[in-house]
Structure 1
Amino acid sequence: MPSKTNIMMTYALLVFIWATTPLAIVWSVSDLHMMWALVLRFFIALPIAAVVLIILKIKFPVDKIALHSYVAGSFSLIGSQIFTYAATAYLSSGIIALMFGLAPIMAGLIGRFGFKQHLQTLQWAGMLVSVSGLAIICFNGSSTQHVHPVGIALMMMSVFTYALSIFWVKKVNADVEPMAQATGSILVSTIVAICLIPFIWQHVPTHIPNAKSLFALLYTVAMASLLAMFCYFKLVQNIKATTLSLTTVMTPVLAMFFGAVLNNEYPSLMVFVGASVLLFGLFLYFYRDFKLSRELNQKIKP
C-alpha cells in the first residue's frame, strides 16, 4: 500500500498533467487531422509503454480478468478521447477541461443508477447548480469561437465514458500493476485506433507536423498516455472513485489559465460566469466530503 505522501504527490502530478493536456490536444491538431493525432498518439505510446515494462521487469498478466480490466481501462483512453479530439473543432482547451469538471457528477449519477449508491440532497443540489452553469456557457457562449453546443455534447459523451471507466475498472478489481494496467489499456486503445484508419485514410498526414503540433503530440504521448495513466490507475486502485473524480474539479481553473496565457483563449464574461456557477455546483456536490475529511483530520491530530 503506497504511503499517504506518495498518493498525494501522485494526485498532484495527475492534476497538473490533466490541466495541461487539453491545451496539448488542441495544439496537436493544429497541423494534423484530429483523428490522426489521436491514432498516432497511441501508435507512439504503445512501444514506449512496452519498453518501460521490460526495463522495470513488471509482470504483464493476460488472464481473463486482466484482459477485462484492460478493456475497461481503454474506455478512459480512446473511448473518451475520441469525443474529446472531435470536440477540439468546437471548444477551447479551457472549456474542454471545464467539461471534464463534470466527471464527479457523472460518476455520482452512474453510482446512483448503476450501482445503487446513495446521493445526499446537497449533492443533487450541486448537480442542478452545475448543470445551470453549463447551460449558461452553452447558450451564451455559442456566438464565440470557444464554445459551441456540438462541442458541449461531444464532451458530455467523453466525460460519461471516462466516468464509466473508473467504476468498471474498480468493479473488475484485477490484480494488475498500475503500469501494466496502463500498458494493457493503451494496447486495447491501439487496436481500436487501427480499426479507425480505414475511415480517416483520406486525411493521412503527408508532411511532418510543425514544431508546436509535434511537441504537443509527444507531450500527449509521454505525459497524458503514459505518466498520467500510470498515476490514474495507481489512484484507481487506492482511493474511492468519487475522490479520484475530484481531480477534474481542480483542473479547469488551471487549464483556463494555461489556455489564456499560452494560447490567447479569453472566455467571454458570460462563459466566465457560467464556469463559476458550474464550479460552485461542484463545490456543493463535494461539500459533505470536504467537511467529513476536515473532521477526520482534526480527530487524527494529537
Structure 2
Amino acid sequence: MNNPINKNGFPTPLSKPVVAPFSQNSRFATAGQFITVVLIWSLTPLSAVWTVHEIHWAWGLFIRFSLAIPIALACQAYFKVKIPVHPQALLSYAAGALGLFASMAFCYMGASRVPSTVISIIYGSAPFVSGLVAIYIFRSEKFSAYQWLGLLLGMLGLYFALGLNEQNLLLDRFGIGLEIVAMLLYVLSAFAVRAVAANIHPVSQMTGATIMSWLGYCSLLPFFSSDMPDELPSLDTAIAIVYSAVFSSVLAMIFYYQLLNKVKPTTLMLMNIICPVLATLWGTWLNHELLSSHFILGLLLLCMGLACYALRVPGK
C-alpha cells in the first residue's frame, strides 16, 4: 500500500478512482470488498513465509512481481486509465516502490526467521507509527486522549507479543528487526507518495510502482544468481507466489481504493483489528505455528489499542 495517509492512519486516494459499475445493491458489493480485502491481507504474511521456505527471497519477489505486472496492466485496460510517465509521476512511482521494493525486501528477508503471526502483528501497529509521523514530523494533526491510550495499549501489546518481557527472547531478534524496518518503510512510502502529490489515478500508481519495483528486483538478481531456483516449487510455495501476485499485489489494492471512497475511516480501522487475529488463526492452522500466552495477551492488547485509536472525540 503506497499512498497518502489521512488523520486516521489510513491511505487517502490520490484521485477519484474510475471504478467498474457494481450491481444496484451496493451495500452487498461493499461488504464483499471489505471481507475480500481482510481475507487477502490476513493471508499475505503466511504467503511470504511459504515463499521463502523454498525460494530465496529475492527470486521469490522477482517471480511475484513478474506475475503481477501483466495483471496490473490488464486492470489498466479494464478501468480505461493510462500510466503517466512525466517526471513527477515517475517520482511518485519511485516513492511507491519504497514500499513495494524496499519494504517487501525486508519483509521477505525476515519471513525466513520469524513466523507469519509476528509479521502480522508488527504490520498491525502501522497506524500508530503513521500517526506519530503525522504529529512529530509533518505536524498535521493532534492525537485525542483515546488515541494516546490506544498507542499505549498497542505498544504494550507489541511488548508482550514479541516476547520482550521474557528474559530469554525466543524469537529471532534479527528477524524481528527486519520486519520492523519493513513496516517503517511501508509507512514512509505512503508519506513519500503524499509529499510528491502527483495526483495520479490509484490504479496507475499501483501499476507504475509495481513496474519500478520489478526493475529493482531485476537489479538485485545478479547478486543472488547462485540462489536461482533450479526446480519447480512445492504446491504450497507455488500457491503462495501466485496468491501474493494476483490477490495481495493487485486485487486487494483495487478493492481497498474503492472502499476508501465508500466507507468511513473508522470502519477501515476494523481491517487492522481483524487482520492480525485472522493471520494468527491461519498461521496456527495452516502452518502449525505455536502460540504462547504472552503472544495472545499482546494480540488482545494490540486490538484494544487499535479500537481506542479509531475512536474520535465528538465535535473534534
TM-score (norm: length of structure 1): 0.84
Q: Distance in 1 between matches of 2:262 and 2:105?
A: 27
Equivalent pair of 1:19/1:254 in contact (CA under 8 Å): yes
* Unaligned runs of at least 5 residues, structure 1: 297-302
SS at match of 2:190: helix
Q: Distance in 1 between matches of 2:109 and 2:89?
A: 30
Residues 152, 279 of structure 1: alpha-carbon distance in 2 compared, 3 angstrom cutoff: farther
Equivalent pair of 1:181/1:233 in contact (CA under 8 Å): no
**1:41 alignment partner AA:** R
Range with bigger deviation, 133-142 or 96-105: 133-142
Equivalent pair of 1:104/1:242 in contact (CA under 8 Å): no
Q: Deviations over 1:57-97 (max 9, x none)?
A: 32121123322222222223222211111111222112211
2:159 to 132, 135, 158: 135
Q: Does 1:166 align with 2:190?
A: yes
Residues 143, 119 of structure 1: alpha-carbon distance in 2 compared, 3 angstrom cutoff: closer
Q: Distance in 2 between matches of 1:235 and 1:163?
A: 20
Q: Deviations over 1:95-130 (max 9, x none)?
A: 211111101101101111222021123322322222
Percent of aligned pairs sharing the same letter: 32
Range with bigger deviation, 80-89 or 50-59: 50-59
Q: Distance in 1 between matches of 2:190 and 2:35?
A: 18
SS at match of 1:118: coil
Range with bigger deviation, 53-62 or 99-108: 53-62
Equivalent pair of 1:19/1:97 in contact (CA under 8 Å): yes
**1:22 alignment partner AA:** P
The match for 1:60 is 83
Q: Does 1:150 align with 2:174?
A: yes
Q: Distance in 2 between matches of 1:105 and 1:143?
A: 24
Q: Does 1:228 align with 2:252?
A: yes
Equivalent pair of 1:140/1:271 in contact (CA under 8 Å): no
Q: Does 1:122 align with 2:151?
A: no
Residues 102, 254 of structure 1: alpha-carbon distance in 2 compared, 3 angstrom cutoff: same
Q: How does 1:139-218 map to 2 (within 5 A)?
A: 139=164, 144=170, 147-218=171-242
Range with bigger deviation, 250-259 or 1-10: 1-10
Q: Distance in 1 between matches of 2:70 and 2:222?
A: 22
Q: Distance in 1 between matches of 2:195 and 2:54?
A: 39
The match for 2:52 is 29
TM-score (norm: length of structure 2): 0.81
2:286 to 262, 265, 273: 262
Q: Distance in 1 between matches of 2:31 and 2:196?
A: 25
* Unaligned runs of at least 5 residues, structure 2: 1-15
**2:237 alignment partner AA:** S
**1:72 alignment partner AA:** A
The match for 1:50 is 73
Residues 113, 143 of structure 1: alpha-carbon distance in 2 compared, 3 angstrom cutoff: closer
Shift of 1:21: 0.8
Range with bigger deviation, 83-92 or 71-80: 71-80
Q: Deviations over 1:126-145 (max 9, x none)?
A: 2222222212233257654x
Q: Distance in 2 between matches of 1:38 and 1:241?
A: 31
Equivalent pair of 1:37/1:217 in contact (CA under 8 Å): yes
Q: How does 1:261-280 map to 2 (within 5 A)?
A: 261-280=285-304
**2:96 alignment partner AA:** G
The match for 2:134 is 111
Residues 87, 18 of structure 1: alpha-carbon distance in 2 compared, 3 angstrom cutoff: same
Task: Judging by fraction of residues, say which structure has more helix.
Answer: 1
Q: Deviations over 1:228-279 (max 9, x none)?
A: 2323445567889887566323200011111122111231112212222222
User: How big is the alpha-carbon RMSD for the aligned residues of Structure 1 and Structure 2?
Assistant: 2.9
Shift of 1:171: 4.0
Aligned length: 290
Residues 199, 232 of structure 1: alpha-carbon distance in 2 compared, 3 angstrom cutoff: farther
